[in-house]
Amino acid sequence: MDHQQPPWSVSGSSQSPRSPSSQPYLHVSVIDPVKLGNGVQAYISYRVITKTNLPEYQGPEKIVIRRYSDFVWLHDRLFEKYKGIFIPPLPEKNAVEKFRFTAEFIEMRRLALDIFLNRVASHHELRQSEDLRTFLQVDEAVMERLRAHENGLFKKPVELMQIFKDVQSKVSNVVLGKEKPVEESNAEYEKLKHYIFELENHLAEAQKHSYRLVKRHRELGKSLSDFGKAMKLLGSCEGDSLGKAFSELGAKSEVVSVRLQKEAQQLLMNFEEPLKDYVLAVQSIKATIAERANAFRQHCELAETMKLKEINLDKLTLTRSDKMREAETEYNQLKQANEEAKRRYDDMVRLMNEEIVRFQEQKTLDMGVAFHNFANGQARLANNIADAWRSLLHKLESC
Amino acid sequence: MMGAENKGHDYEEAHLFASKEEMESLLLHEHPFNSNSNGNGNFFSSYGSAMSSSLPDSHHPLSSSVATAILTDSDPLLSPPPYPELHGPSSHDNSYIEPPSYADVIFSPFHGEDINSLESPSLSSINSPMSFSRTSSSNSEYIRITVSNPQKEQETSNSIVPGGNTYFTYLITTRTNIPEFVATEFSVRRRFRDVVTLSDRLAESYRGFFIPPRPDKNVMESQMMQKQEFVEQRRVALEKYLRRLSEHPMIKKSDELKVFLQVQGKLPLPTSTDVASRMLDGAVKLPKQLLGESTVAPHEVVQPAKGGRDLLRLFKELKQSMVNDWSGSRPLVVEEDKEFLEKKEKMHDLEQQLSSSSQQAESLVKAQQDMGETMGELGLAFIKLTKFENEEAVFNSQRARVLDMKNFATAAVKASRFYRELNLHTVKHLDALHGHLGLMLAVHSAFTDRTSALLTVQTLLTELASLQSRSEKLEAASSKVFGGDKTRIRKMEELKETMRVTEDAKNVAIREYERIKENNRIELERLDKERRTDFLSMLKGFVANQVGYAEKIANVWGRVAEETSGYVKESI
């Protein structure tokens, strides 16, 4: 089995295919990054493996080739379709790093994409998405076409959107008397919004310091190595047992230095990345909050417009004008649109409430793992360092 | 639903070594989770389902209690809650019990000294390892000098520069049991100029010895720095210098130092005369020297030719050194030893390695410092997060996270403190490198003493040889003329007299040269021995330090790893 459980993200559903086939499972992984193309056009392609027994899928196993922008396509589609749900975040685009494409960067990106896909596949709503199925199954050529389609500003018109746009053009803000955008007046939701915005700041700061800590490990490793070399040379001036002691100090310094460099890498993968992921997740929530505000505003404005139309209709009915039928049709359309908007908004509210609970739980788990890995790493590092120096101390004491 | 519960509980402050301001603004509270306000002991088992192998469907409604309360209140009848498993039993315990380790054993010689000065910015009050290792082994002689209390004073006597000239004096306190000193504890006030005088007199009296170099005059810096900073820097440097002097076995008993440390009021050592008067002096003597009327008096030979006063001698010795360099003719006294030259080579090599090691030591110290700082900042960032989540917590999952974050943050701040302590000790130990590098200057000037003494000898030998040949010529000439030429006889007598004096001077110079050679030898031996002792002590101290603090840091993080081990078990 070639799937590696992401070290720091706990997903509920990634199940081994060895579980009884009566249990439905959907198992995804992103592996084998390969650099393709040259210079500015260079990109990385990944292999995406799906193992499943779900009937909607074409077979028990499928392998496709995907690149970063395909993941972006999937993410954007999910965001459009599943309003109210916190879509798992993608690793950042990072055009600068792309040029360098170090092995480190490639592996971190692969891991992040694997985590993204797993989170989608284990989310009870998102896993049912048609777009997910498309992403996991269609071949590269089709995927490319879909991707290009999306990148063009061409977007499928949604009926509701069409009506809303018509309404907007007919109704002027002056008539509505509203300059400010409409906002929900819900104390609990306000609190949540405030929490999310503040949280991002705190997390960003924590992430900044953890990145610096990674650097500090590297710097300490380097200076210890240089120190060791200088001490070795100094020892050669002394000769005999003292010289030997210096030489051993130099050797140990090198050992500790190497260990520090290793830990720096671990810290980056197991702590800084999860923190970055946390920040991105919070940003995703902010996007959802913005969507909810849109949905609320749409619903309010449709309701207002509907009321106006109703008043107008009543007027026309009284005068038995021949414009009445037209007005009636319009009114009914608006009524439908308004109901639709309300339904969407209510769905969003409900979903968000569920999502926030899930989010908090997930993050406690993720951070718990991250803290554990950090502490474990630091404890191991410190113990290794103590052991290395201790063995030298015994030698020195006999000098 | 769950928001209001945890307000109004009593909180304890956690004691963390963060900066005072930060501590004041961010109180880290610990919940005494044995609250009775939550009657039931429901634990949310939704996490259990998240961990299980089935697809996560609906979440169990989160209960109203605080899961972590169960640490003290766990009801065995209820299903074991996931959160407490995740936070091991020790999460309540905030006190840090230090296990016996190298840390405690090795640090005792330093700790007594350092506890008070640990937080102080200046390390000057910490005994250098150099003196420490040596005084403990020697014969219970003890001398300790402290420099303190800088005071501004006004220049009262007439000076060339009119107007209020101010200068600083420093209080120099000595504690000693050496019998040559008058008392066991005494103080004097001295200014920097006095230190220069002391240093110059010592250089004259102890030619060939490795005399620790005095602090620089730093004229430029004194204009540029803030007065207070500069004075403080100077105070530290003076203390270091005087302590080094008091560690030198010969110099600590010297008259010059004794006078400097004990005599109240004006320092009764002859001052180095200023340049102008020296030039005048030299200008007066020169004509006499040129006319051959004055020779280098034997006693003056004991000092190297100095600027102003000995212009002629300076010229002669300069000529001699050029002869030595260019003529290729072997000088009359050869710098003997291959052994000495080898030693010189070795010293030069040593100096280079010391310089590079000293630099790398500085970098290492900085890297350790940075590590500690960043760890501390990370801890503080999480403390802020903890406080924030605590205030805003709506869900129990958040409260559990608060506990995790707090443990983590506390550990990070502790580790940060350990790094900083580690560094303070590291600085102390590695100071041996800087110290011995500084001594190289002393070695240079001791070798220079030797070279200039040799040059004096060579010059006198050359002089003697030329006087000899003049005398022989005169003899030969006068033997051809019968009868005495009175002037010629007189000249010959004068020449013979000059030769006698020069011969005496030559003998004195040779004795001086031999004396300096011997001083060099003794000092080299002493320095080598002391350096080896100091370096061994440095290595041991440095390594023991690293071990001790690594152990402490490992303990701190080990506990957090244990407390959060539940999370990892679940994800496998």
pLDDT tens digits for range A272-325: 999 999 999 999 999 999 999 989 998 998 888 888 888 888 888 888 777 788
Gap from A220 CA to chain B (nearest CA, Å): 5
How far is the C-alpha of A29 from the C-alpha of A60, rounded, in Å?
A: 14
B306-339 pLDDT tens trace: 655 566 677 677 777 766 666 555 555 555 667 7
pTM of full prediction above 0.90: no
Look at domain A1-154 and name its CATH class: alpha beta
What tokens appear for B361 in the block? Answer: 């030591």
Which of A102-111, B47-56, B125-134, B235-244 comes out lowest in average pLDDT? Answer: B47-56
Do the bridges between strand B12-13 and strand A26-36 make them parallel or antiparallel, or are there none, so unpaired? Answer: unpaired
Q: To which H or E segment does residue B191 belong?
A: strand B185-191
pLDDT band at B128 (very low <50, low <70, confident <90, very high): very low
Among the residue ranges A281-290, B147-156, B426-435, B558-567, the one predicted with the least confidence is B147-156
User: Do residue B370 and residue A372 have CB atoms under 8 angstroms apart?
Assistant: no
Q: Is A372 on the interface with B (CB under 8 A)?
A: yes
User: Would you say residue A155 has pLDDT above 60?
Assistant: no
| b/e B335-349 (16+ beta carbons within 10 angstroms → b) | eeeeebeebbeebee
Confirm or reject contact between A222 and chain B (CB < 8 A). yes
Chain A CB contacts of B532 under 8 Å are: 238, 242
Closest-CA distance, A256 to chain B, in angstroms, reads 11
Q: What's the mean per-residue pLDDT of chain A?
A: 85
Nearest CA in chain A to B569: A369
User: Which pLDDT band holds residue B418 (cuts at 50, 70, 90)?
Assistant: very high
pLDDT beyond 60 at B83 = no
- What pLDDT is recorded for position A220? 97
Q: What is the pLDDT of residues B483-503, one digit of tens each?
A: 567 778 888 888 888 889 989
State the Cα–Cα distance between residues B212 and B195, nearest whole angstrom. Answer: 13
Q: What is the pLDDT of residues B391-408, one digit of tens each?
A: 988 889 999 999 999 999
Check pLDDT > 70 for residue A4.
Answer: no
> Which has more pLDDT, B142 or B69?
B142
CB contact under 8 A, B536 and A399: yes
**What is the average pLDDT across A103-127?**
92
Q: Which residue has the higher pLDDT, A39 or A204?
A: A204
C-alpha gyration radius of chain B? 37
* Partner B, chain A 29-68, Cβ-Cβ below 8 Å: none
Mean pLDDT of A210-219: 96
- Between CA B81 and CA B51 the distance in angstroms is 12
For position B484, what pLDDT does the model report? Answer: 62
When pLDDT is averaged across residues B334-357 and rounded to a whole number, the result is: 85
CA of residue B159 relative to chain centroid, distance: 36
Lowest pLDDT segment from A54-68, A76-90, B110-124, B502-516: B110-124
Chain B contact for A397 (CB, 8 A cutoff): yes
A199·B388 Cβ contact <8 A: yes
Task: Determine whether the interchain pair A389/B397 forms a contact, defined as Cβ–Cβ distance below 8 Å.
Answer: no
pLDDT at B15: 37
Contacts of A236 in chain B (CB under 8 A): 353
Torsion over CA of B96, B102, B104 and B109, rounded to 10 degrees? -150
Residue B16 predicted with pLDDT over 60: no
Look at A125-139, A299-313, B527-541 and tell me which has the smallest mean pLDDT: A299-313
Taking the CA of residue B278 and the nearest CA in chain A, the distance in Å comes to 43
For the cut 90, the answer to whether the pLDDT of residue B369 exceeds it is: yes
- Given a cut of 80, whether residue B23 has pLDDT beyond it is no
Mean pLDDT within B72-86: 40
pLDDT of residue A18: 52
Q: Do B364 and A223 touch (CB under 8 A)?
A: yes
Domain ranges across chain A = 1-154, 157-207+255-399
Provide the pLDDT for residue A168.
Answer: 57
| Complex ipTM | 0.86
3-class secondary structure for A259-276?
Answer: HHHHHHHHHHHHHHHHHH
Q: Bigger pLDDT: A42 or A261?
A: A261
Residue B44 to residue B107: CA distance in whole angstroms: 48
Q: What pLDDT does residue B280 have?
A: 52
Helix (H) or strand (E) run with residue A2 in it: none
Distance from CA of B101 to the nearest CA of A (A): 11
Taking the C-alpha atoms of residue B117 and residue A312, their distance in angstroms, rounded to an integer, is 86
HEC profile of B391-438: HHCCCHHHHHHHHHHHHHHHHHHHHHHHHHHHHHHHHHHHHHHHHHHH
Cβ <8 Å between A233 and B350: no
Strand B185-191 relative to strand B143-154, pairing: unpaired
What is the token pair recorded at B11? 């909180």
Identify the residue with better confidence: A103 or B39. A103
Specify the pLDDT at position B154: 80
| Mean pLDDT over the full length of chain B | 73
Chain B: nearest CA to A260, how far in angstroms? 12
| H or E stretch covering A15 | none
- Provide the pLDDT confidence category of residue B30 given band limits of 50, 70 and 90: very low
Q: Do A375 and B564 touch (CB under 8 A)?
A: yes
Asked if A234 lies within 8 A of B357 by C-beta distance, the reply is yes
B550 contacts on A by Cβ (under 8 Å):
382-383, 385-386, 389
Name the burial class of residue A389, with classes exposed (0-12), middle (13-18) and buried (19+) by CB atoms within 10 angstroms of its CB: buried
Whole-number pLDDT of residue B341: 84
Cα–Cα nearest to A138, from A64, A69, A27, A57: A64
**Residue A129: which pLDDT band, with cuts at 50, 70 and 90?**
very high
Give the per-residue pLDDT at B65. Answer: 35
**Helix or strand or coil: residue B108?**
helix
What residue spans of B275-310 are helical by DSSP H?
Answer: 275-290, 298-301
Confidence tier at A104 by pLDDT (50, 70, 90): confident
Least confident interval from A124-133, B277-286, B511-520: B277-286
* Third-level CATH fold of A157-207+255-399: Substrate Binding Domain Of Dnak; Chain:A; Domain 2 (1.20.1270)
Residue (of A392, A196, A351) closest to A279 by Cα position: A196
Confidence at residue B538, expressed as pLDDT on a 0 to 100 scale: 94
pLDDT value at position B110?
36
Tens of pLDDT, residues B112-124 = 333 333 333 333 3
pLDDT beyond 50 at A242: yes
Per cent of chain A over pLDDT 70 is 84
